Structure 1
Amino acid sequence: MSVREEFDDWATSGKDRGMEERHWHTAKHALARMPVEPGDTVLDLGCGSGYAGRALRDTNDAGRVYGLDGSPEMAHNAAAYTDDPQVGFLVGDFDSLPFENDSIDHIWSMEAFYYAADPHNTLEEVARILRPGGTFYCAVNYYEENVHSHEWQDKISIEMTRWDREQYREAFRIAGLHVAEQDNIPDRETAIPSADEFPTDNWDSREEMVERYREFGTLLTVGVAP
């Protein structure tokens, strides 16, 4: 199954809204760090339901916001959820971003980058379209150090890229992006039951669940275009 087919199914079944609810716990903290100024042009790469672009318009007064997704159904749903003429959605390929050189001020991606067929090429495309000084905020929960995410590959037919922290930094540098910061954003909102309620359907111990949400959380890597 292709990325398009997989996420068309997710969108038609309503899973796009569930993704938004889960991601928001850490996404809102990363979005708050983005140096978006009024009038800036922003791309949400792998936009899903489009929540990030709407948030940047509401809180940062971003100018034009584009949401790009490989799934036509995701893009269609995102447009239906959005009542803002400055936010638009399009279907596109991560390996050939449909934007001119030096045309985007900031790029955001949450839980989407690892679906790229060629992640190194995607980073080259990101570097190509960013204006000098522009930023790429790449947030992922599926990464090497987060051992609790490794089983995700078994639940989806798409091949996913599982890099560690250093591989992300090195790949950003190879693509020509300066690594401005990298850290883990903990999820402090997911409720964790008391120890005597374990094991659960998903967790053998409370310690594992605490590690997953409170320690590993979301890995954020920030690149800056020279």
Structure 2
Amino acid sequence: MTAQREFDQWAASGRDRDMEETHWNTAKHALAMMPVESGDAVLDLGTGSGYALRALDEIHALDRGVGLDASPEMATNAREYTRADSVGYTVADFHHLPLTDDSVDHVWSMEAFFFAHEPVEMLEEIRRVLRPGGTCFCLVNFYEESEQSHRWCDRIDLPMYLWSQREYRTLFREAGLRVAVQETIPDEEIDIPSGEQFPTDEWETREAMVDRYRTWGTLLTVGVAP
């Protein structure tokens, strides 16, 4: 299955809103860290429902927000959810961004990077469109150190690349981005039942669920364009 077909199905079934709800627990902490100023241009790769751009525009009054997704259905839904004229959505290949050089101030990407066919090529495109001093905020739940997330590749009929924290730093540097920050953001809001309520449909043990959400959470890597 292609990424377009997979995520078209997700959008049609309402999973875009489900992802927005679950991602928001950690996304909001990273969004608050972005050095966005009023009038900036922000690119969201793998925009899904467009929640990140809507939040940034509400707080900072963006000059331009561009949400890119491989799924036409995701982009259609995001347009329906968004009222701001400054934010728009399009379908595009992350490896060939339909933007001019030095045209955006910041890039946001959550739960999309591990689907890249050529990660360095994708990051080089991000580097190309970023203005000097611009930032790239990359967030992933699926990474090597978070062992409880590894089983996700069995649930999605797409290739998924499992990189370590060190490999993410290396990829950023190879593409010409300086790594300014790398940290994990725990999900402190998702409800974790008491031990007597396990196993559940998703988890064999409470310890496994705690490891996934409280210990490893979401990996944030921030790159800065020279």
TM-score (norm 1): 0.98
Query: When the two structures are aligned, how many residues end up with a matched partner?
Result: 226
RMSD: 0.7
Instruction: Tell me whether 174-183 or 147-156 shows the greater mean CA deviation.
Output: 147-156
SS for the counterpart of 2:93 is coil
Q: Are 1:221 and 2:206 an aligned pair?
A: no
Report the counterpart of residue 154 of structure 2 in structure 1.
154
Q: Are 1:36 and 2:36 an aligned pair?
A: yes
Q: How does 1:54-73 map to 2 (within 5 A)?
A: 54-73=54-73
Report deviation, 1:62.
2.1
Per-residue CA deviation, residues 134-180 of structure 1 (Å, 9 max, x unaligned), is: 00000000001111111111111110111000000000000000000
Q: Are 1:74 and 2:78 an aligned pair?
A: no
Q: How does 1:144-183 map to 2 (within 5 A)?
A: 144-183=144-183
Unpaired runs of 5+ residues, structure 1, are none
Unpaired runs of 5+ residues, structure 2, are none
Per-residue CA deviation, residues 90-147 of structure 1 (Å, 9 max, x unaligned), is: 1100110111111110000010111111111101101111000000000000001111
Report deviation, 1:60.
2.1
Q: Which amino acid aligns with 2:41?
A: T
In 1: Cα distance, 2:53 partner to 2:170 partner: 27
In 1: Cα distance, 2:155 partner to 2:111 partner: 15
Report the counterpart of residue 136 of structure 2 in structure 1.
136
Report deviation, 1:190.
0.5
Q: Runs in 1 of length 4+ with deviation above 4 angstroms?
A: none
SS for the counterpart of 1:220 is strand
SS for the counterpart of 1:168 is helix
Identical pairs, percent: 60
Instruction: Tell me whether 57-66 or 140-149 shows the greater mean CA deviation.
Output: 57-66
Report deviation, 1:34.
0.1
Report the counterpart of residue 95 of structure 1 in structure 2.
95
